[in-house]
Structure 1
Amino acid sequence: MTQTPTTPRADAVRELAVRWLPLLGDDDFVVSPVGLWLALGAVASGAGGRTGEEMGELLGVEGEAAAEAVTLGGRWLGQAPGVAVATGVWSRVPVLDAFRAGLPDVRFGLLPGAVWSALPDDVFGATDDMSLGEMPDAQEELDAWVGRATGGRITRLPLDLDGSEDLVLLNALALKASWLTAFPGHLTRDELFTDGYGDTRPVPTMRQRIPAGWVWYVGGVTVVELPCAGEGGVRVRFVLGAEADGPGDVLPAAWAGAGARRPLVADSADLGLPRFTLRTKTDAREQLAALGLTRALRRGADFSGLSPADLYIAKVVQEAVVEVAEEGVEAAAVTQVTMTRSAAALRHKVVERIAFDRPFGVVVLDGSGEVPLFTGWRQSAPSVS
Structure 2
Amino acid sequence: MRRQSSTTRSATRSTVRAVNDLTAKWAATASADRGTVFSAPGVWPLLAFLADGATGAARAELSEAVGLPADEAASGARELLAAMDRVRGMDAALGLWTRRTLTLRDAWREGVPVDALGVLTGDPAVDAAALDAWAAERTGGQIPRMPARPDKDTEFVLASALALRTAWLQPFDDGLMVPETGPWQGRSLAGLHRSTSLLDRVGVARSATGSVTELKVLGDTGVDVHLLLGEDHMGPGAVLGAGVDALARRIPVVPGTHMPYGEAGPGLEVRRVRAMSPRPATLHVATVPFTSTARHDLMARHELFGLTTAKDMTDAAEGHFPGIAVEPLALQRGEQAATATFSALGFRAAAVTVFMAYGAGLPEERYVTTDVNATFDRPFGFLAVHRTSRLVLAAGWVTDPEPYREDEHH
Q: Give the TM-score category using the shorter length.
A: 0.7 to 0.9
Instruction: Name the structure 1 match of 2:153.
Output: 164
- Identity, in percent, stands at 27
- Alignment map for 1:249-260 (pairs within 5 Å): 249-255=238-244, 256=246, 257-258=248-249, 260=252
The 3 A distance-change label for structure 1 pair 195 and 104 is farther
Instruction: Name the structure 1 match of 2:27.
Output: 21
Q: 2:60 aligns with which of 49, 53, 60?
A: 53
Residues 7-16 or 196-205, more deviating: 196-205
What one-letter code is carried by the residue in structure 1 that aligns with 2:392?
P
The question of 1:70 aligning with 2:77 is answered: yes
Per-residue deviation, residues 94-123 of structure 1 (Å, max 9, x unmatched): 222211111134532111149xxxxxxxxx
Instruction: Name the structure 1 match of 2:168.
Output: 179
Q: Using the alignment, how far apart are the partners of 1:162 and 1:136 within structure 2? A: 8
TM-score w.r.t. structure 2 length? 0.80
The 3 A distance-change label for structure 1 pair 191 and 167 is same
Q: Using the alignment, how far apart are the partners of 1:208 and 1:136 within structure 2? A: 49
Instruction: Name the structure 1 match of 2:379.
Output: 359
Instruction: Judge conservation of contact 1:30–1:322 (CA < 8 Å) in 2.
Output: yes
What one-letter code is carried by the residue in structure 1 that aligns with 2:20?
R
Per-residue deviation, residues 309-332 of structure 1 (Å, max 9, x unmatched): 211222211110011111110100
Q: In angstroms, what is the RMSD of aligned CA positions? A: 2.5
What one-letter code is carried by the residue in structure 1 that aligns with 2:303?
A
Q: 1:375 aligns with which of 395, 400, 404?
A: 395
Per-residue deviation, residues 16-73 of structure 1 (Å, max 9, x unmatched): 1222212122211000011111221122221123321221111023545222111121
Cα distance, 1:136 vs. partner? 9.5
The question of 1:34 aligning with 2:34 is answered: no
Give the SS at the match of 2:28.
Answer: helix
- Alignment map for 1:4-153 (pairs within 5 Å): 9-26=15-32, 27-92=34-99, 93-113=102-122, 137-153=126-142
What one-letter code is carried by the residue in structure 1 that aligns with 2:199?
A
The 3 A distance-change label for structure 1 pair 381 and 41 is same
Structure 2 residue runs of 5 or longer lacking an equivalent are: 1-8, 260-269, 271-280, 361-367, 406-410
Q: Using the alignment, how far apart are the partners of 1:94 and 1:29 within structure 2? A: 38
What one-letter code is carried by the residue in structure 2 that aligns with 1:260?
P
Instruction: Name the structure 2 match of 1:207.
Output: 193
Give the SS at the match of 2:378.
Answer: coil
Instruction: Name the structure 2 match of 1:225.
Output: 216
What one-letter code is carried by the residue in structure 2 that aligns with 1:283?
D
Per-residue deviation, residues 206-242 of structure 1 (Å, max 9, x unmatched): 1001321100111210000011114xx2121000011
Cα distance, 1:84 vs. partner? 0.7
Instruction: Judge conservation of contact 2:202–2:213 (CA < 8 Å) in 1.
Output: yes
The 3 A distance-change label for structure 1 pair 339 and 331 is same
- Alignment map for 1:229-248 (pairs within 5 Å): 229-230=220-221, 233-248=222-237
Instruction: Name the structure 2 match of 1:339.
Output: 357
TM-score w.r.t. structure 1 length? 0.85
Number of corresponding residues: 353
Structure 1 residue runs of 5 or longer lacking an equivalent are: 115-134, 343-347
Q: 2:254 aligns with which of 262, 268, 273?
A: 262
Cα distance, 1:4 vs. partner? 7.6
Q: 1:315 aligns with which of 329, 333, 338?
A: 333
Q: Using the alignment, how far apart are the partners of 1:166 and 1:8 within structure 2? A: 33
The 3 A distance-change label for structure 1 pair 354 and 248 is same
The 3 A distance-change label for structure 1 pair 42 and 195 is farther
Q: Using the alignment, how far apart are the partners of 1:317 and 1:289 within structure 2? A: 14
The question of 1:276 aligning with 2:290 is answered: yes
Q: Using the alignment, how far apart are the partners of 1:287 and 1:143 within structure 2? A: 24
Cα distance, 1:367 vs. partner? 2.6
